[in-house]
Amino acid sequence: MRSLTSFLLLPFLFLTPFIGAFEILTSSFLGNEVLRYDENGNFIDVFASGNGLGGPAGMAIGLDGNVYIAGFSSDQIHRYDQDGNFIDVFASGGPLNGPNGVDFDSSGRLYVANHSNGNVLRYNNDGSFDQEIVSSNDIGPNDPHDIAIGPNGNIFAVSRFRNQVLEFDLSGNLQRSFGGSLSNPRSLTFDATGDMYVSSLSSNQVLRYSTVTGAELGVFTQGNQLSQPYGMGFGPDGLFYVNSIDDNINLRFDANGNFVDSFTGGGLNSPDGLLFINLEAAIPEPSSFLLLSLAMTILWTSIRSK
């Protein structure tokens, strides 16, 4: 019986390595391309380049499952599928001027940190321009550098000019600000509990804030090759990833801010945005499992009868 059980489990053992696999995308700003790495940090290939993509910066995955890349130098938002195939230019022209960070709300509308005009723009699901949500008067010149839709559904915008992260509702009304020790902030992300992490470029640190109380919780990490931190985020593996633009590398830290390792490759040049793509395991439907088990049982019986 033990031999039969082991025999029937063989197909599922082959499937196990694919469960939970993911890829890491890093925008190479000066290289005008987005590079792809596996979950171990090994360089795979160039995910996106050409098609007018210039100065790729922030990236986000839309409700359609596609990857949206802000072209800072091309004043466009480019759309690719998760295999890196170019689909189209989702948005261009008009008010776009140095788009940097991008993110989506729960309705699938795209928000853009329109860096060179100092405002936040919103686009509809079809790529048509909706409206300016936050003006330069509320953020500052040559800002915001990054934005994200927070756990509470509000817009969090990084203002280098003010050395703050500003929180707005989706109508553009200022709710509160986060600052304290920030020095030339560039990017932000959130963990599963809702705490906010902000890269402080000039102090070579990542700072942590409570989005509940608004309090600064201190330095999350610093040192260990962290020089001019830029894009960052928590990976599917629970590790914290951040770009070190000075050394053209990606760094990994555990959930407590302890250094794990670093990786680069593919000619990474001035890393900016970070994005993670979960790879779906090729696991059959339940009915397919039953058919597979039946087939394996018949095969086992045939082998035993010989």
The DSSP code sequence of 108-170 is --EEEEEGGGTEEEEE-TTS-EEEEEE-HHHH-TT--S-EEE-TTS-EEEEETTTTEEEEE-T
Q: Are residues 61 and 207 in the same domain?
A: yes
Q: Are residues 292 and 228 in the same domain?
A: no
pLDDT at position 306: 52
pLDDT in tens, 163-187: 999 999 999 999 999 999 999 999 9
pLDDT in tens, 219-251: 999 988 899 999 999 999 999 999 999 999 999
The mean pLDDT value for 49-56 works out to: 96
pTM listed for this prediction: 0.85
Q: Are residues 212 and 110 in the same domain?
A: yes
pLDDT in tens, 193-211: 999 999 999 999 999 999 9
Q: Are residues 56 and 14 in the same domain?
A: no
Query: Which residue in this structure is represented by tokens 């439907």?
Result: 285
Domain that holds residue 108: 23-280
Q: What DSSP character marks residue 105?
A: -
Tally of domains in the chain? 2
Nearest CA-CA partner of 164 in 179, 149, 186, 175: 179
**% residues pLDDT > 70 (the chain):** 85
Structure tokens at 239: 């590790």
pLDDT at position 286: 44
pLDDT in tens, 87-118: 999 999 889 999 999 999 999 999 999 999 99
pLDDT at position 304: 53
Q: Are residues 78 and 173 in the same domain?
A: yes
pLDDT range class, residue 17, cuts 50, 70, 90: very low
Q: Are residues 128 and 232 in the same domain?
A: yes
Cβ neighbours around 174 below 10 Å, total: 13
Q: Are residues 52 and 14 in the same domain?
A: no
The mean pLDDT value for 63-81 works out to: 97
Beta bridge partner(s), residue 61:
67
Q: What is the CATH number of the domain that holds 108?
A: 2.120.10.30
Q: Are residues 254 and 298 in the same domain?
A: no
pLDDT at position 305: 54
pLDDT at position 142: 72
Q: Are residues 176 and 291 in the same domain?
A: no
